Amino acid sequence: MLSTFTMKFQSQIAVIALLLCFFLSCGQLVTKQAGGSLNFLVVGDWGRKGLYNQSQVAYQMGRIAEDLDVDFIISTGDNFYEDGLTGVADPSFLQSFSQIYTAKSLQKPWYAVLGNHDYRGDVLAQLDPVLKEIDNRWHCQRSFTLKYNLCTLPSVSANDIECPSAAELYFVDTTPFVDKYWEIPNEDTYDWRGVTPRDIYLRRQLQDLEKALKISKATWKIVIGHHTLRSVGEHGDTEELVQQMLPILEEFKVDLYINGHDHCLEHIKSLTSPIQFLTSGGGSKAWRGMKKDADMNGVEMYYDGQGFMVMKITQKNLHAIFYDIEGNIIHELEMSKNHTNLWAKKSSN
């Protein structure tokens, strides 16, 4: 998949993905037949060797992914419980990932961020390219960007650079933002290699995010991190991110912030901007209950059980669908944008 050019023809949809640059910030032209969309799944907080309903969620993901022909899968972190991986040879990688998400439809790139539990093991292991030799789906980085230009066949060719930028996904490493993990003494041990000095690391992540958002021409801007911004689940809001990151997301009109960490499925609307907060953290842990005295303003959906999310994106429309472990739809979010102006501008220069 990460080679230069892949082509796949199916009866309905032709996908031509061209990798334009290095993985850390790459652009892909995704070409679909009219009516086709960029499709992906989002799951979080899952690696428990198939137990606690992880396998049931994996089964439904496989089933839904097959119907949709998904392009990739996103993991919102806490990939391996309880304490990440002990090293690249840790059998948990196979037991909790390769041997669980076995459906043919899930043999696609998995783009993962790290959660706080992942930082409690050998943090460098999950980032090590050696894991790709064991399972080539695995792409885990601390922070990175994926850009998708959506072209519609047969009106444009795959290398037509006029294909509009449909979606940009910004993955942020949120664990180092949380003060309590840095407290000494601490009941847990965190592997901060590659993250210190902390203040420089955090500042740089925020600056990189701001720079990327500022120049983005994408219709849909989506930021993904492990920790919550807004949540009524057990952990609630992450104050450090609300203070340091949310203002940037609001200023540059990010459409969605997607996270895990709280082991539930959630959709909360912002009351101060168009941003929507989506939690997909039900990959195996669940049933933790709500946070006491949670701020219920803007809550559109809160489901305490296991499940995952599907996202379908076109140039004009975005459709998020939450599924429970039986494969029932429990909530949907639809958004659309009017692009008359964008196209008018393009043809006039």
Ligand X SMILES: *[C@@H]1O[C@H](CO)[C@@H](O)[C@H](O)[C@H]1NC(C)=O
What is the contact mask toward ligand X in residues 169 to 198, using x (rule: CB under 6 A)?
------------------------------
Instruction: Spot the catalytic one: 227, 235, 267, 331.
Output: 235
Tokens 């892949």 label which residue? Answer: 6
237-296 positions binding ligand X, by CB under 6 A: 286-287
**Residue span binding ligand X (CB under 6 A) among the ranges 122-130, 215-223, 258-266, 336-344:** 336-344
DSSP letters spanning 302-315:
EE-S-EEEEEEE-S
Distance CA 142, CA 234 (A): 25
214-233 positions binding ligand X, by CB under 6 A: none
We find the least distance from the C-beta atom of residue 324 to ligand X, in angstroms, to be 6
We find the least distance from the C-beta atom of residue 234 to ligand X, in angstroms, to be 14
- Whose Cβ is closer to ligand X: residue 264's or residue 286's? 286
CB 277 within 8 A of CB 229: yes
CB 222 within 8 A of CB 170: yes
Question: Could you say whether residue 53 binds ligand X (CB under 6 A)?
Answer: yes
Question: Could you say whether residue 43 binds ligand X (CB under 6 A)?
Answer: no
Distance CA 154, CA 3 (A): 24
- Tokens for 48? 């428990």
We find the least distance from the C-beta atom of residue 321 to ligand X, in angstroms, to be 18
Strand 299-303 versus strand 265-269 pairing type: antiparallel
What residue spans of 86-197 are helical by DSSP H?
92-93, 123-127, 130-134
SS3 assignment, position 83: coil
319 is in an annotated binding site: no
- Whose Cβ is closer to ligand X: residue 166's or residue 246's? 166
- Whose Cβ is closer to ligand X: residue 269's or residue 339's? 339
Q: List the beta bridge partners of residue 168.
A: 147, 221
Distance CA 202, CA 174 (A): 9
**Residue span binding ligand X (CB under 6 A) among the ranges 191-199, 224-232, 242-250, 337-345:** 337-345
Size of the residue set binding ligand X (CB under 6 A):
10
We find the least distance from the C-beta atom of residue 112 to ligand X, in angstroms, to be 22
Question: Could you say whether residue 340 binds ligand X (CB under 6 A)?
Answer: yes
226 is in an annotated binding site: yes
- Whose Cβ is closer to ligand X: residue 53's or residue 60's? 53
Residue at 267: amino acid letter: H
CB 266 within 8 A of CB 233: yes
Tell me how far CA of residue 180 lies from CA of 124, 150, 184, 294, in angstroms.
21, 41, 9, 20
End-to-end CA distance of the chain: 35
Backbone angles phi, psi at 135, to 5 degrees: -145, 105
Cis peptide leading into residue 185 (ω within 30°): yes
261 is in an annotated binding site: yes
306-335 positions binding ligand X, by CB under 6 A: 306, 325
Question: Could you say whether residue 57 binds ligand X (CB under 6 A)?
Answer: no
Distance CA 48, CA 83 (A): 11
**Catalytic residue flag (residue 331):** no
We find the least distance from the C-beta atom of residue 344 to ligand X, in angstroms, to be 8
Among residues 27, 62, 298, 305, the one that binds ligand X under rule CB under 6 A: 305
Question: Could you say whether residue 3 binds ligand X (CB under 6 A)?
Answer: no
The total of other beta-carbon atoms located within 10 Å of residue 287's CB is 13
Question: Could you say whether residue 52 binds ligand X (CB under 6 A)?
Answer: yes
- Whose Cβ is closer to ligand X: residue 48's or residue 221's? 48
Contacts of 347 (CB under 8 A, 6+ apart): none
- Whose Cβ is closer to ligand X: residue 146's or residue 325's? 325
- Tokens for 226? 């492990």
Residues of each annotated binding site? 45, 78, 81, 116, 226, 261, 263
Active site residues: 235
Residues of each annotated binding site for Fe cation? 45, 78, 81, 116, 226, 261, 263
Residues that bind ligand X (CB under 6 A): 52-53, 286-287, 305-306, 325, 338, 340-341
